[in-house]
Amino acid sequence: MSKKQVVKTRTNKKLELERKRDEKAARRALAKERKNRSQGGSEDEEFVSFANQLLAMGLKLREVPGDGNCLFRALGDQLEGNSRNHLKHRRETVDFMIKHRQDFEPFVEDDVPFDRYVTNLEKPGTFVGNDVIVAFARNNQVNIVIHQLNAPLWQVFGTRKSNAAELHIAYRYGEHYDSVRKVNDNSEAPANLKTEDTDVIVQNLEFENYNIETAIVATLQIGDLKNSNSIEDSNKNSSNCSPPHMSSLWIENGSGNRIFGNQGLNPEEIENNRTFSQKEENKRNKNKVTSKQRKEQIRIEKKKRQEERHRQKILDSRSNNLEELTTDGNLQPPVTLVKTFATLNI
């Protein structure tokens, strides 16, 4: 083995050792945070409120340790599906700021020289500001969406490309960042979330006097109602799409039959035409009022079933931990649209 290979091997071992040490420290920090939160207090209430707010949009928090690297951990989880490369993301972001010094130096506070400022930023565990979020977004050509409790979304644009990736993170307790994921996403894959402007949620919140729990129910009901309407429309369309030889054009005494006769149709098709003709005649002879009443009864029964399903969903959500709501995320679409009602753009 050459001297160069020996140096490279030692370097790789050192990096691997640092990575394992960092992961161990991260697990300890996260366990400590959860233990403190389980003991109650205002932070615990904030966590539950934040979780409910995200749940209304079909999202959840994926926590990362509050070790001073939380921003890069959260962004790394969004971009790559895990937070292990946070040190690399930190170095690359600081390098970008140095290369574009003219864009970032005017925003350095407390009269700290820019060189000293970026030197401190490069150290693991150093807390960072909004300027670093902007630098990360530009360097990676992504847009970053920041969720906050009871506040509009913040969007930081690193690019104006229409197909740019969006990284969704949560800003909590005034000092900590977590990753935001679809509620059933437990994978180690990029989050692939994208905002979708809509006023449905804000309307539901206003109508329910900003009761998050009932607003969630209302949002789910609207979604299910749209699905049931689309299925009903599909069934109507499919019922009207009879095979060509079953069209009213070809039924007995139909225009096509009168002009061309039954030529080209085999005996089975002729018999089908006759049967279809009889069914059409029976439909026309049915009492219209009775049919209308039957449809109304079906509609009422369907509404009752929907209400019962939604009631059961709320009971389940109350009795189970938020983590137990998650399911296998392998079947989720490549990009999940996040319904939002207010955003502030940077």
Q: Which residues are catalytic?
A: 67, 70, 176
Tokens linked to 136:
């990360």
Rounded Cα distance between 44 and 310, Å, is 27
- Cβ(335)–Cβ(193) below 8 Å: yes
DSSP 2: -
- Cβ(144)–Cβ(335) below 8 Å: no
- Cβ(179)–Cβ(192) below 8 Å: no
> According to DSSP H, which parts of the chain are helical?
3-38, 42-55, 70-80, 86-99, 101-104, 114-121, 130-140, 200-207, 212-240, 255-260, 267-285, 288-319
Give the count of alpha carbons within 13 A of 185, CB side only.
26
How far is CA 114 from each of CA 72, 92, 96, 136, 264, rounded to the nearest angstrom? 21, 17, 13, 18, 87
Rounded Cα distance between 52 and 202, Å, is 15
